[in-house]
Amino acid sequence: MSSDVREGGCACGALRYRMNAAPLFVHCCHCTDCQRQTGTAFVLNALIEASAVDTLLGEPRAYAMPTESGLSHRVFRCAACGTAVWSEYGGRAQIRFVRVGALDAPAALPPDVHIYTRSKLPWVRLPEGAQAFEAYYDTRALWPAESLARRKAAYS
């Protein structure tokens, strides 16, 4: 198995999946939607092409989630235990936002960027030198060229 291949799953073991490529980029999102939907201070999402994620066991169930922005947001959860494993934003199913915490080895994917820090809880301290933005950021300015090319191909 390549070092870019990562597996994960839900808390009860009924749902397992594999990421067959390195993520395009990893977000640590501090928005109030993510706080509310995860019940914690932030969420870590590994952005990856949907075609690079294989379901190995079980079938995730999609739930439509309200957002402050009004954009479409679907969270995919284990049908048995409800663990969130990935999301789709803005009606774009080509890119998945895989929950890093549901991976077998979450420490292997630290965030590339912290976003929506304007609503970051005051007791959360970002690492020194971390790239952080009050809202979103310019993807073309931050993402590696290879990730930009992969994203373009996913939407083609």
| pLDDT tens, residue by residue, 88-147 | 988 889 999 999 999 999 999 999 999 999 999 999 999 999 999 999 999 999 999 999
Residues of the chain by 3-state class (helix, strand, coil), percent to 5: 20, 30, 45
* Higher-scoring residue by pLDDT: 66, 41: 41
Give the pLDDT score at 65.
Answer: 82
60 in Cβ contact with 78 (< 8 Å): yes
- Which H or E run contains 132? none
Using alpha carbons, select from 42, 8, 11 the residue that is nearest to residue 113. 42
Q: How far is CA 57 from CA 37, 85, 101, 133, in A?
A: 24, 13, 18, 37
For the chain, the residue count is 156
> pLDDT (tens digit, 9 = 90+) per residue, 63-89?
998 777 667 789 999 999 999 999 998
The Cα angle at residue 37 between residues 5 and 134, in degrees rounded to 5: 85
Nearest-angstrom CA–CA distance, 105 and 94 = 24
Domains annotated for the chain, with CATH where assigned, are 6-155 (3.90.1590.10)
Buried b (16+ CB within 10 A) or exposed e, 100-111: bbbbeeeeebeb
